[in-house]
Amino acid sequence: MLNRILLVCLLFAGSSLTCKWMDTNFKRYTEGALALLKTMKMNSTNSTDDVKLPDAAAFPNELYRHASKAPVSENKHSFAAHVLDKIVVLFREDQTHASWSARTGEDFLNVITQQADGVASCVSITSHKKSHRKMSMYFKRLALHVLEEMEHSADAWELIREQVRLHIYRAHRLAEA
């Protein structure tokens, strides 16, 4: 009995320590990622005003609304961790034709990977592994309908960059709520 009480206390203590990452680092990593995305846009020489995102890859506002209504902040953090993980996967695609430098792309990938790992440290393993199937499907559609169909072109990457900027902003708002 005493062992169980001690185990529960240790779990709660460990959980509160890991969530300090959200208080001390999350905002800094978000700002760093957004600054890199802004730099990537400034380096863009192509105009994507006439290039539109396919309807199949429209921004999933309803998923964020649903996640924001979660009663427990760990569920919000889990959703944010999942989004960041999917951004990492997306940015591991071929960026050869992107308008930004390879170094800038690598820097962004490093920042977003560290942020995803940090957020994941604030959620339990079962919560982080929780299926966010609709969001996963959304990112697969982005990869298929934007990157693959547009042959990983600079225009495709600019559309992806803008979608990712929105996701980072929304994930930040969600995790801070």
Residue range 9-38, pLDDT digits in tens: 444 444 444 488 898 999 999 999 999 999
| pLDDT, tens digit, 9 for 90 and up, residues 106-156 | 999 999 999 999 998 888 766 555 568 899 999 999 999 999 999 999 999
φ, ψ (nearest 5 deg) of residue 53: -75, 130
Are 56 and 141 in contact by the 8 Å Cβ rule? The answer is: yes
φ, ψ (nearest 5 deg) of residue 71: -75, -20
Query: For the domain bounded by 20-176, which CATH number is listed?
Result: 1.20.1250.10
- Model pLDDT, residue 16: 46
Which residues in 139-148 are b (16+ Cβ under 10 Å) and which e? bebbbebbbe
Distance CA 166, CA 141 (A): 16
- Model pLDDT, residue 107: 98
Rg (CA), the chain: 18
* Closest alpha carbon to 156 in 42, 48, 41: 48
Distance CA 66, CA 139 (A): 17
Of 57 and 63, which is predicted with more confidence?
63
pTM of the model: 0.83
CB neighbour list of residue 90: distance below 8 Å, 6 or more residues apart: 139, 142, 143, 147, 160, 164
Count how many residues are written for the chain: 177
Residue with tokens 């995790």: 175
- Domain map of the chain by residue range? 20-176
- Model pLDDT, residue 118: 94
Neighbours of 81 (CB within 10 A): 25
- Cα-Cα end-to-end distance for the chain: 37
Amino acid at 124: S
Average pLDDT of the segment spanning 72-90:
92
For CA atoms 99, 104, 105, 106, the dihedral sign is positive
| pLDDT, tens digit, 9 for 90 and up, residues 1-13 | 554 444 444 444 4
